[in-house]
A = this chain, B = another copy of it.
């Protein structure tokens, strides 16, 4: 029996494949499904079952595409209202060789959430592992904020799912959740991607509370809902057909510039340092690991997108990252890269960077500037610099009016990446005196600066 974890970076999504004999099941497949087909071929197996742990809101699922490619059946918990899957309910079991997969209803994160329990019947009918979707993570639990007026109800459901359904499976059961550290689906996840129910029962901070306290904590938790979540829900209600990745045109600087004039929206996927050094005027900085949480606040699904990347060879990886988030309208990328743009004579813009050390000097000298902190509200409240102006990055596009145009603005976040996105937004909208503090809060803390709570 083979169990393989397939990680999609960026969205920090974990899907799984269980193979026994010549049958295979996939749990929560991503949209670019070749990886599953490749494993199946390597193992000489057919993908016969696909399970969705819930209707995902943070990436596009590949269930229908995988079913089309393989003839597999797709299963989804009750109440999920998805067109492409058969509903399953608690207790249903599926056999693949000596692997037995059983359904456990574990609502809370969503009402349709299920977990899939794995037994190796060659040894026992008791479980050896469980796939928990977004119910229980390593070091954290799922979000319960998707039904704002039913937060206590969903938190209670989640508690009961974990304590009455999952943990009773036994300490010795391995835990395979749908996300790892870096996901927008939770902020407390461990960067360790292996654990057991027993370890979580004892050391997962969220499981150390009583039921009432848990509900209260979850009720009061703050989460942002990137606007693209709606699009994902919509897409995942029917799941998209199988089709190829977008095939953007490779455009030389002059051609690319022309498309920009015609409304192409330029996303710059390079590092913040490179973006700050030189970028196409009007482009939006969108480093790969920032995109999942923030692109949905700033880029419409209707926009025609043009990409700036380091090397033409990176285009495939970049397309996949966007594709998994449902961004299919990528129609161009700059070739052979930013250097060609500069050499073409076209103008480029710069965002000055300022180190934490120099920033603190300005504080000491009481210079007049706006420190724009774009982190999440709970990060901000946990500690920020004096006189910082807080606007969450996702809200910045709609709150630009609150910022002065006659003062220097220094963008600021955890380490400088989100600050780069913020700086690019300000620059797009005509703010002329913007600097980006690469290093940001992390650097300030390491320098021992004064922190306000």
Contacts and interface: CB of A to CB of B under 8 A. Distances in A.
Counting every copy of the chain, the complex holds 4
Contacts of A310: 271, 310
Nearest to A197: B172
Contacts of A342: 355, 415-416, 438-439, 443
Given A41-B312, A44-B336, A335-B22, A120 B190 contact: yes
A215 interface: no
A391 B25 CA distance: 42
Contacts of A451: none
A382 interface: no
B343 A415 contact: yes
B191 A173 contact: no
Nearest to A332: B46
Contacts of A21: 252
Contacts of A139: 123
Contacts of A271: 270, 274, 277, 310, 338-339
Interface stretch (A149-157, A199-207, A220-228): A199-207
A344 B172 contact: no
Given A270-B274, A350-B353, 12 more contacts: A22-B250, A22-B252, A22-B335, A22-B336, A44-B315, A128-B195, A172-B199, A172-B202, A242-B244, A271-B339, A343-B442, A347-B358
22 contacts: A22-B251, A42-B312, A43-B312, A44-B312, A44-B337, A45-B250, A123-B190, A170-B171, A171-B171, A172-B196, A172-B199, A174-B196, A198-B198, A272-B277, A276-B278, A342-B416, A343-B446, A344-B442, A345-B439, A345-B442, A345-B447, A346-B443
